[in-house]
Chain A
Amino acid sequence: MAYQNQQIAEVADVLKKRFAELENKNDILRATELKALFDELKTLPSEERPKFGQEINALRQELQKMVMGAQDEDEALPAIDITAPFDVNTKESERPSLLPTETGSKHPLMTELEEVLDIFYRMGFTAVESREIDDDYHMFGALNFPEGHPARDDYDTFMTTDGLIAPAHTSTMQNRVLKAQKANLEQGKPVATVIPGRVFRNEDLDARHEHTFYQLEGVYVDEGVHAGHLIATLKTFLQEYYGKELDVKTQPFYFPFTEPSFEFAISCPFCDKKGCNVCSQTGWIELLGCGMIHPAVLHEAGIDSEKYTGFAWGMGIERLVMMKYGIEDVRYFESARLDFLRQFS
């Protein structure tokens, strides 16, 4: 690694030579020359600091890698025969084994997602996963968000230093799905796809809010599709999922990619609308946003909005699971804690 700063380059040479002689390799990270460089950083004028700081960090990283490398060489365990089914000299009772089935478990979010996908599959929907890193076009542009539009603020998106986006909704796949299945429409068949995926929002964590969670998107396009179809389809899915008859209600909402847009609620299946903790005593649970796909979104995918209309929706999965089991903190889902995970099968 070549250092541009003369001073740092000199220290690098000195330290690397010293490293070879050191008994305890870790000591190189405590070298006084290295500390002196960090102290020097504070005295520099502010314009020079970022570059100097970057190079000191690069040097520290290089030294750290050398320490790790030495450690790995010195303390590595002896090589083994990786083609063998078990280690040499192991008694029969000590051969490797799988763990008992009763300790195993599937992640509850994934189990729920499988169930949800199965219902939609039975209703005639194919499925495809959404992306975990995407661009502005798919996140906003193809979905009728004009540049600089205030609606973009509602999404609290994470961005990368290269200008890519961590998707804040699974709608990033709408344009791709519509384009890929346009041919269906020409053959007199509908576009019917659900899209599960991980999404990200720049939000502070608490018991009800996570920055990483799962959504399920849905898209249905055909000739003569209307808003009544939308409500009926979602009602049918939710009745199947909860295994009982439900009342539904919609409230007008606003999304740039649907017109009209709705928030969709069902009568609380846990108390049959009488009022309980789950529905905060209101008797209703608001579950998802939906609407008729905006003509601009259809046009962007090359679909004639005069002839074809469709609807779309987005639903959060964590909430379904939390309500079902009475889970008190959404952060457990990504915690990898066996205390939590082994409660599910």
Chain B
Amino acid sequence: MAVALLKLDAIRDIVDKNYLVRWMRSKSPWVFTFGLACCAIEFMATGTPRFDGVERFGMLARATPRQADVMIVSGWVTNRMAPVIKRLYEQMPEPKYVIAMGECAISGGPWYDSYNVVGGVDKIIPVDVYVPGCPPRPEALLYGIVKLRRMIREGKTRYDEERRKK
């Protein structure tokens, strides 16, 4: 069993280092439809025909974490929601990427002195792309998505860093 796992790890290494594989990954990062607060409304607007920001980049909106690659945290994270987000993140299959959308997800935003808000989602899960704004315009989110695609292609995401350390 251990040998099999070792072999699997070796295969994963080869796959991750392959540019072709990364290029293919960057072409269809399926996104987890997961709305928290105001930014979720802008995320919905991004998906509508005016911006067409989701399907244009090969992103298919999935309602379950088990079929998704990208998680967009769109809103403030409270102490009560934090374990839930962590679990949702753990349920996603690897490789997985996180976009923190809006001030609240980046640093707590206007609720920085609240007794119940986690100051930034990166205290719970690793974040690849930060999209600032309150809330960010759909164009800003598009830029974040394009950025993430480039990072995946070039192997610069948090996932790749973790793999390189091992």
B is a partner of A: no
